[in-house]
Each structure stands twice: as structure tokens, then as C-alpha cells.
Amino acid sequence: MPETPAPPVAGHGAARLTSVVLDAYNAELRDKEGFIGDRASKRAFRATLEEWRDRLRKLGEDDPLGDEPSDDISWRRLERLLKDERHEAAALIHTAMEEFSQELAAVTRRFLKLKGWKDTQRIVVGGGMSGSRIGHICIGRASLLLKADAQGVELRPIVHDPDEAALIGAAHLAPSWIFAGHDSLLAVDIGGTSIRVGLVELNLRKAKNLAAARVVGLEVWRHRDDGPTREQAVERIATMLRGMVALAEAKKRALAPFIGIGCPGIIEEDGSIDRGGQNLPGNWESSRFNLPREIAEAIPEIGGYATTVLMHNDAVCQGLSEIPNMGDVERWGILTIGTGLGNARFTNRRAD
């Protein structure tokens, strides 16, 4: 058994955090066609691209992108096609980008009408698409459309790599006592396609607000390719975490007894998931399942201290990574373009 119990911490899914108040998250906007956020997902972009290619095929025209399905074309190849000497190939990508930008702007307008999103001044856009040049252009175009409408909001890409943002953001979930005598912590980012586990170096001597935090160890597992059960997924996460503990020991890190987890859905105070976990392997919304408890049992101690596990929504965690960049605004939010459209809105807390 661990020698020293951990001091109490805030509940999972807390609304009041060290630097910000969480005004709203995981809003599920719907219309008669389904979830509105699905119109601004990675799948939506590729569906738009495929629709234009299909129009050409039906007219008997050559497809500028060849025979490869749109879902299989890498972002890198799509970006090369933007510079292709064949003008129709580049134009096809630009057309899909313009339609997607219009949808992203339209979805953002819907969010801005929500009570919890009132008077939002800036929105960062994260998720896998935000790491590409195409994503940056779409975000910039949507931002211009919103400015032209006098919406009073700016869209910008998230600063950190999409694979690392939520891991760095998880450090902002940790209570201040966790940092005493420690220079690193463990974090988990669970998505509908992949699960990431990282070793986060805090670099508090460079910046007490975690502006210099960085991921120094990372493992990514595309669970959607393997189709695991819920139990298999939990065991794989535990194995990945043990690997990061070993890495921390090899790097001689002073690892904090803390694991921050970002997970889709509405996170209850006891660590259960109320709803929103439908893209995860198995039933994560069962009243008999509690991921933080499972992880704490799998990794009961770190460095001789009881492990504290704290979980919040994955979009919230991505947004928290941007706290050091939001000192010039008061109300800001995040949209994450991934399997779906994650979302969260924050208000900066004033120093007491």
C-alpha cells in the first residue's frame, strides 16, 4: 500500500479550475438532420471532397485525384495537391476547403447564440485537422467570415500539436500541491479514433503558468483499427502508462503522483460518464464503469505516493493548454475538429 495518502482534490469534470471557470462544454446542437457539429468534423471535410469528385465521375470527367478514396488520402498529399500544376486538382481541394470553412463559420454562429457562449471573444480550433496547412486555411477563412458578420470573435488554430494539446492541458487540472518537488506528470487523451498517453515536462522554472510545459514522451494507439473491448482498452491504457512511468525513471524525472485524463462526454463529479462516449470502445456510460477508479487501481502509486487521477472532457483539456495565450481576453472557447466537434467555453479567473 502507498505510504502517504494524497490530499483531496477537486471533483472530476469541475467547473471551477485554478485559472478559469468552465462556462459550458460538450454542447450537442441538433437540427432535423442530426448533430450540427458533425458538419464541421474531419469526416465532413472528406465527405465534401468525395461529393465533388463523385459529381465529376457522373459527368464522365476524369477525377483529378485518381482512384484513391477520399477517406484514405493523407493531409500531406492533399496539401501537395494544392500546389499541383494541374489547376483542376488544386481547385478541387480549394472548393472543398471553402465549403468546409462556410460550415465551420455557420456552426460557430450557432454556438455563439448559446447562453454559455455569450460574448465570446476568441475561439481556438483544435483536433487533428488543426495541425494541417489545410486546417489552418479553413480556420482563417471561417474567422474572416465571422468578422465580416461583425460577430466580434476571432478563430485561430491551437498552438500545440494536436497529439499533444490535451496532454499539456491535463496539467492544468492538477492541484498546486502536486507540483511541489516534481517536474513531470502523466496524462491521457482519449478520442473516438485514438488514445494518447504522454509524459509531460512542466518546466515551472521557465514559466509558472505552464506556458513552457511540453510532452517529452508520447505513445499513440489507434484503437479504432483494433476494435478492442472496453476492458481491453483500459488495460492497454494502463500498459501505456506503465511504459511512461518507466520512461520517467530512465530520464530521471521527478514524476508527480498524478494522472490527468481527457475523455469525450459529460464527466460527472464521481468520474462516471453521463453521455457523449458513444464513439469509445464498449459502453463507457455504464453506471458500473468508472475509468478514473480503474486507472487508480492499475497504477496505485507513483514514487511511493498514492496516485491521484483526475478526469475531464477531452475538448476541455485541449482548451486548457491555451490558458497561457489567453491573458489578453476574458471569455474564450475551443472547438475541436475530430471524430465529432468537441467544444468548451471558458472565462478567465481574476487573481484573488
- Please give the Cα distance from 315 to 343 (Å, whole number): 6
Q: What is the pLDDT of residue 351?
A: 63
Residue 259 has pLDDT above 80, yes or no: yes
- Please give the Cα distance from 60 to 139 (Å, whole number): 33
Q: What is the pLDDT of residue 350?
A: 77
- Please give the Cα distance from 261 to 191 (Å, whole number): 11
Query: 12-37: per-residue pLDDT in tens?
Result: 999 999 899 999 999 888 776 667 77
Residue 151 has pLDDT above 50, yes or no: yes
Q: What is the pLDDT of residue 2?
A: 47
CB-CB contact of 278 with 332 (8 Å): no
Query: 206-258: per-residue pLDDT in tens?
Result: 999 999 999 999 999 999 999 999 999 999 999 999 999 999 999 999 999 99
Tell me the pTM.
0.91
Q: Virtual CA dihedral for 264, 266, 271, 273, nearest 10 degrees?
A: -80
Which of 292, 249, 257, 260 lies closest to 178 in space, CA to CA? 257
Between these two residues, 214 and 5, which has the higher pLDDT value? Answer: 214
Between these two residues, 3 and 259, which has the higher pLDDT value? Answer: 259
Q: 3-state DSSP call for residue 313?
A: strand
DSSP state of 338: S
CA 78, 83, 89 angle in degrees (round to 5)?
65
pLDDT range class, residue 298, cuts 50, 70, 90: very high
Q: Virtual CA dihedral for 186, 191, 194, 195, nearest 10 degrees?
A: 20
